[in-house]
Amino acid sequence: MPILLLAACEKGNERVFNQVRGVVQELPADDPLRVIIDHEEMPGYMNAMIMPFHVKEAGELEGLTPGAVITFDYHTSGSRSWIEYVTDTGEKGEIKSGDSDAAASPVAPLLKEGDLLPDYQFVDETGAGVKLSDFRGMPVALTFVFSRCPVPEYCPAMMRNFKSVLDRLEKTSGAPKRFHLLTISFDTWNDTPEVMAAWAAGYGHKAGQPWSLLTSDSCCTINQIGANVGLKFGEVKGSYQHNLRTVVLDSEGRIQHIFTDETWKTEELVAELIAADSVNGPDTGT
């Protein structure tokens, strides 16, 4: 892909990268406002990678087909990002094989709903050792992130959403008396317990909440649990290309549900946690 010099500007809290060049990989049939693009580097912000983008108007993508080489302006503002001025150059580029979100990590079997998730061990934001079995007897939701993720709808959204779920459960009638949220980093080199604690504090995480930030000094652990739930990630020039997985476990550690992208809503995860709590009867707290 030819390399162009990109112009970036800032308008208040909005950042704009003009004339980003990329190759259309996929136009999801179930979302007319979403396109998967293999894009070039946005200097100082994002490495070249394959990832989904959103447009505000479906007409922006009209006439595009996989393999089309395009240019577009990329905007990020607060918790949102989008592209506009999408232009088909008339050139054709490579449609890359495999999952368009990230490279696979086939080091453990892919599990399904009802399967028991193995008892992996991590380190939490305080530096204490934590095993998944420590949370037996309560429903658990876990998601995967890395703290340097620049895309508002990806890892930052998972953090905001978990804080929203935590707040909603405190106010919801019939919510589990005991539950736990686990945010797991796959950036084993950068995301130390101290880094995770400081990063999470910016999203409202506080000590004593039923919400833990987990990391590991073993990439094998992250690769294996990722493979179990369909998480795919790979290092790209010091950053990560990845998809998303948010997983609900019942009180026995079995997979209740897997959300496969960033579109899940607070109420959906709350409902799954309540359902997971009822699998073996609600916890009475006794």
For every residue of 60-128, DSSP letters joined together read: GGTT--TTEEEEEEEEEETTEEEEEEEEEEEEE----SS-SSS----SSPPP-TTPBPP--EEE-TTS-
What domains does the chain contain, in order, with CATH numbers? Answer: 7-92 (2.40.50.320), 121-278 (3.40.30.10)
pLDDT for position 69: 96
- Region label for 95, one of left (φ > 0), alpha (ψ between -120 and 50) or beta (otherwise): beta
Q: Contact 266/160 with Cβ under 8 angstroms?
A: no
Over residues 101-132, the pLDDT tens digits come to 444 445 789 999 999 999 999 999 999 999 99
Whole-structure pTM value: 0.74
Over residues 81-106, the pLDDT tens digits come to 889 999 999 999 998 854 444 444 45
Gap between the terminal Cα atoms of the chain: 62
pLDDT for residue 212 is more than 90: yes
Task: Report the chain's mean pLDDT, rounded to a whole number.
Answer: 87
Residues above pLDDT 70, as percent of the chain: 87
pLDDT for position 234: 76
Over residues 225-282, the pLDDT tens digits come to 999 999 988 766 556 678 899 999 999 999 999 999 888 999 999 999 999 998 755 5
Residues above pLDDT 90, as percent of the chain: 59
What is the rounded CA–CA span in Å between residue 248 and residue 226?
A: 14
- In the block, residue with structure tokens 């599990």: 111
